């Protein structure tokens, strides 16, 4: 994929050259520059362009400056750029404003020495006037007289010098909406103090709603009223057209994926994923910035290991639908791999998730999920599912490959527990012992960051589950299933079980079994354990369970024959189980000799 001319990696940076305009701002900027130059002797005229965050305000301002600089010498104004946000909270903004004005004017031979000196004197007086800025309107002369008898003369001299000045002064100010209230007040005081200065034009760009809110919170008055007193002409930056946003997005995507070979991009599939899913979320420049910022950080970690189209789609879910992204990342077996649960159950589950979204997001998200995961297309769209394509998906680095799936979520904080919905799905399988055992085995293969497995997390949660979650009738089948697959679960060693003080999986399994058995009558518990021992499965867990029971009994009088509440089995039953276990163990040892 060929890299475009837009080479700025910092996607939040603004453009300078109108030739690279993709949002249609250049034409407006050119006409605004023409108007600023042709205005009839304005006096401290304040022009504002309003726009939300990342709408392209700074780019528009840069374009205007570009066109002003292209004017003939006799028409070209003196441009004084000022960004108060870089100074906010550290220095007197009023003083720095005049210092910047002086610095620029000092470099211009066409500006008289007298104007520079008078501006310096005037700046000293204005910088010392205390807030609130509201006092600096009609009462300006009085305040100046109070500070210095020559203050009014300084202001009048500046005005006289400006009348003699041949070139217009254009002061551009950006990022006002990032300032705290006190700094905004200082700026507004400057505009009011220099209201009558001939041939001075201010061009401001900011988010109107933010500034109004900041002023209102500080003054307990309408911020809009204050803006009306300051701003003499304003424009609202329009929302770019869809086609313009699309061009900008693709140009920035090309900067990230420029090393990707074109044959790696299936254009037909990309078109479906984009137009049926992603495009619905790209409605402003801000949306583009959010997605591109994310991809700029996340793609390098998986470069050459993922399918570019799938990765853009997955990261779009991260940005625009974080809840669905989190669900996908935490439940790989629902979205990829074999279809082990009933279709109706999965369809109900998926529809429940999608129902939580805003109405306008439901269909685009559903489309994205079905394009990314053929398993979901089969469940939700009644299409054919060819599970034999796993190898093909793996070669294409698709997210629907069970092996490739985890790579897509390397930069995700995967919580170390199953969400409530997958737990419910597992509990729903309890009625079918074979499916329940199969699912436990699959969970044992799923490693989580930190070395533990999903089955370990599930067992710990199963131990802490309340009685209402598990029907009493199902407990025998659950216990049998745990014994049946315990050998496989023990083989899936968790890294966390390696420490000398960490619990091994046999402890977790045993505790889980004990908590389930305690919900049954003691006689039924004994009969169930006897049945499991006779089957001769999971001898290691059985031995561990017997050892635990003996330890439990040893804390009391061993001759005590009556049943104590909290014991799994009474003394007599324990002795019977111990004898049975020893006999089964001996038979097993004899068999393998």
The model's pLDDT over 357-406, given as tens digits with 9 standing for 90+, comes to 999 999 999 999 999 998 888 887 766 677 678 889 999 999 999 889 99
Q: Is the peptide bond before 132 cis (omega within 30 degrees of 0)?
A: yes
Whether 167 and 77 have beta carbons less than 8 Å apart is answered as yes
Q: How far is CA 12 from CA 207, 252, 358, 533, in A?
A: 16, 11, 28, 67
Please, which residues bridge with residue 79 across strands? 170
By three-state DSSP, how is residue 507 classified?
A: helix
pLDDT confidence tier of residue 220, bands split at 50, 70 and 90: low
Strands 233-236 vs 169-174: parallel, antiparallel or unpaired? unpaired
pLDDT confidence tier of residue 6, bands split at 50, 70 and 90: very low
The answer to whether residue 10 scores a pLDDT higher than 60 is no
Domain with CATH 3.40.50.300 in the chain: 25-236
Nearest to 156 by CA among 146, 166, 145, 167: 145
The answer to whether residue 94 scores a pLDDT higher than 70 is yes
Nearest to 428 by CA among 337, 341, 336, 353: 341
Q: Which fold has domain 25-236?
A: Rossmann fold (3.40.50)
DSSP string over 518-558: TTS-HHHHHHHHHHHHHHT--HHHHHHHHHHHHHHHHTS-T
pLDDT confidence tier of residue 347, bands split at 50, 70 and 90: confident
Burial class (CB in 10 A: 0-12, 13-18, 19+), 241: exposed
Provide the whole-model pTM: 0.64
CA–CA dist 201, 207 (Å, integer)? 20
Tokens representing 588 are: 């097993």
User: Exposed e or buried b for every residue in 455-469, given b needs 16+ CB within 10 A?
Assistant: bbbbbbbbbeeeeee
The answer to whether residue 189 scores a pLDDT higher than 70 is yes
CA–CA dist 217, 211 (Å, integer)? 10
- pLDDT attached to residue 108: 72
**Residues 6 or more apart from 299 whose CB is under 8 A from it?**
256, 257, 311, 315
The phi, psi pair for 56, rounded to 5°, reads 105, 20
Tokens representing 486 are: 């315990």
The model's pLDDT over 426-451, given as tens digits with 9 standing for 90+, comes to 666 666 777 778 778 877 777 765 66
Gyration radius (Cα) of the chain, Å: 36
Tokens representing 46 are: 């304040």
């Amino acid at each position: 994929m060929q890299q475009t001319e837009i080479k700025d990696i910092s996607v939040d940076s603004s453009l300078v050259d109108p030739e690279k305009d993709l949002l249609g701002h250049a034409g407006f900027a050119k006409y605004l520059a023409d108007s600023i130059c042709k205005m009839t002797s304005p006096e401290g005229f304040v022009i504002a362009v309003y726009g939300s965050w990342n709408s392209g305000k700074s780019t528009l301002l840069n374009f205007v400056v570009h066109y002003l600089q292209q004017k003939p010498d006799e028409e070209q104004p003196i441009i004084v750029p000022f960004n108060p946000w870089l100074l906010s909270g550290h220095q007197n903004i009023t003083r720095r404003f005049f210092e910047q004005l002086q610095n620029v004017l000092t470099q211009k031979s066409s500006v008289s020495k007298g104007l520079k000196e008078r501006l310096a004197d005037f700046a000293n007086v204005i910088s010392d006037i205390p807030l609130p800025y509201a006092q600096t309107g009609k009462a300006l002369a009085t305040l100046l007289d109070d500070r210095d008898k020559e203050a009014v003369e300084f202001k009048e001299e500046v005005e006289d010098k400006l009348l003699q000045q041949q070139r217009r002064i254009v002061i551009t100010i950006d990022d006002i909406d990032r300032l705290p209230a006190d700094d905004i007040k200082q700026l507004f005081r400057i505009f009011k103090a220099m209201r009558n200065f001939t041939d001075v034009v201010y061009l401001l760009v900011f988010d109107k709603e933010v500034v109004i809110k900041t002023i209102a919170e500080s003054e307990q008055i309408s911020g809009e009223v204050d803006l009306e007193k300051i701003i003499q002409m304003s424009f609202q930056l329009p929302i770019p057209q869809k086609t313009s946003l699309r061009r900008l997005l693709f140009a920035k995507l090309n900067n990230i994926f420029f090393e990707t070979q074109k044959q790696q991009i299936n254009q037909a599939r990309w078109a479906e994923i984009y137009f049926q899913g992603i495009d619905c979320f790209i409605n402003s420049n801000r949306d583009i910035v959010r997605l591109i910022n994310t991809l700029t950080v996340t793609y390098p970690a998986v470069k050459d290991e993922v399918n570019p189209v799938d990765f853009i789609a997955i990261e779009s879910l991260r940005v625009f639908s974080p809840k669905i992204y989190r669900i996908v990342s935490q439940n790989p077996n629902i979205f990829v791999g074999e279809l082990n649960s009933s279709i109706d159950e999965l369809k109900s589950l998926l529809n429940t998730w999608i129902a939580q979204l805003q109405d306008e997001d439901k269909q685009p998200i559903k489309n994205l999920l079905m394009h990314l995961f053929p398993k979901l297309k089969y469940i939700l769209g009644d299409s054919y599912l060819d599970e034999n394509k796993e190898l093909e998906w793996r070669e294409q680095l698709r997210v629907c490959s069970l092996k490739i799936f985890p790579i897509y979520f390397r930069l995700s904080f995967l919580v170390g527990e199953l969400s409530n919905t997958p737990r419910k799905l597992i509990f729903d399988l309890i009625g079918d012992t074979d499916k329940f055992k199969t699912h436990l085995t699959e969970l044992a293969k799923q490693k989580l960051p930190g070395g533990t497995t999903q089955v370990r997390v599930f067992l710990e949660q199963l131990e802490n589950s309340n009685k209402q979650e598990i029907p009493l009738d199902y407990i025998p089948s659950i216990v049998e299933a745990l014994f049946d697959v315990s050998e496989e679960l023990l083989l899936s060693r968790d890294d966390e079980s390696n420490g000398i003080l960490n619990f091994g999986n046999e402890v977790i399994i045993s505790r889980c079994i004990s908590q389930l058995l305690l919900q049954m009558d003691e006689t039924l518990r004994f009969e169930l354990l006897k049945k499991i021992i006779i089957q001769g499965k999971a001898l290691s867990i059985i031995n561990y369970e017997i050892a635990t029971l003996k330890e439990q009994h040893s804390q009391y009088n061993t001759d005590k024959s009556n049943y104590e509440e909290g014991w799994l089995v009474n003394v007599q039953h324990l002795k019977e189980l111990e004898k049975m276990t020893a006999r089964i163990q001996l038979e097993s040892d004899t068999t393998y000799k």
